[in-house]
Amino acid sequence: MAGLLPRSLLRAGTSIAPKQASLLRSSIQAQNISRRIYSQSSLNLYSRGFATSSSWKQQYRTHTYDSGDGNPPVKIQIQEPPSFFKRALHFTGRVLGGIFIVTFGSVIALVIYEPDMIVATEAVRMAMHPEEGISDERTLEIEAYIQNHPMVQKFRDDQSLIETRPHLDIPTLLRPNVLTAGVLTGPDRIAVPPLVFADADGKKLFAILHVGEQLCGHPGVVHGGLLATLMDETLARCCFPALPNKIAMTANLDVNYRAPCKANQFVIIKAETTKVEGRKAWVSGRLESLPAPGAEGDGKLLVEASVLMIEPRNIGPLMREVPQNKKLASTTPSAAIGSA
C-alpha cells in the first residue's frame, strides 16, 4: 500500500521517520519508472504492425532507468519501429507486387480460357488464306469451296467490286458479343465469315456464306429468324456507303419466305439499293442457294426482303471522331442497327 500513497504525504516528512520516508520515495520513483516503461511499451505495440510483418532487420534500443538510493539501474530493451523511408518502401513494394500478380494472372487466364481475345485481328484473317485462323478439317473444306467457286472468281474479276470480310473488321474483344460475328459462328453454324463483294457507291452487294446444322428451327431447315437477321444485316451493309455518314438503323424490314432453306448448304445474298433520300435508304435483296460449280443460271430463291434504313440524327460529329481506319469496323450492322 505504501507504493500507492500520494505525493502529499511526503510533505509531512517531519512527522515520519527518515527510514520510512526513504521507503516512500523509493516506491514513488519505482511507480514513475513503471509509468514511463508502460508508455514506451504502448509505442512498441503501436508500431509492431509495421515491424512484425516486415522483412527488414529488427532494431532494438536499450533504455536504462536509475531509481537512485543505491539501487541497481533498470535496463529495458525496446524494439524501435522502422523508419518512415523503410515503411514507405515496403508499402510500395507490396503494391507493385500485387499489381504484377494480378496482371500476370489475368494474362495467363486469357491465354488458357480465351486465347482469341488477345489475338490481333490481322492474325485471324481468312479472306485470302484459308489455312490461317482455321483449325478443323470441315471448316477448311468450307473455306476452300468458297474461295475456289467460279462465282467468287467472277466477282474478283469485276473491277467495280471490293472484296471484304466485314466480320473480321470488328475488334476482337467485341466480336464475342456480336450475334452473327461471334455467338452464331463456329463449326455447324456460320463456319467462316461471309465473303462480301460490294461497290464503293453502296449500290449493290453480294455475300456468300455457309449455314450449318445448328442453325435450324425445324430439323434440317434453317431458322427463319436467322434468315431475317442475315437479310437485315446484309441489306443494311449494302446501302451504308450511300449515306452521308455511312451508318444507319433499321426502320422497317419486310421478309417473304419463298422456300425452305436447308441446313448445311452454301447460300448467296444479293442486295441492291433502290433509292436514297438524305438520311434514308431503301434496299431490296434475295437469298438464294449457291449454284454448284458448272451450273448455269441462278440458284433456288429462298427468301426475298426489303428494308428501310435511316441514319440517326446528329450522328455526324460522333462519326468524325472515329479514325478513318476504324470506320469500317464501327459501321458494321451488328454494332449499329437496332433491330439486327
Q: How far is CA 53 from the centre of its chain?
A: 36
* Residue-range domain boundaries for the chain: 2-82, 126-336
- Position 267 scores a pLDDT of 98
Spell out, as residue ranges, where the chain has pLDDT lower than 70.
Answer: 1-70, 74-81, 110-135, 317-340
* Cβ proximity of 268 and 208 under 8 Å: yes
- Position 169 scores a pLDDT of 86
- Position 59 scores a pLDDT of 58
126-336 classified as CATH 3.20.20.80: no
- Position 124 scores a pLDDT of 38
Number of residues assigned to the chain: 340
pTM summary value: 0.59
- For 29-91, give the DSSP string: HHHHHHHHHHHHHHHHHHHHHHHTT--SPPEEEEEEE---TTPPPEEEEEEEPPPHHHHHHHH
Q: Where are the alpha helices (DSSP H) in 114-248?
A: 137-147, 150-157, 224-239
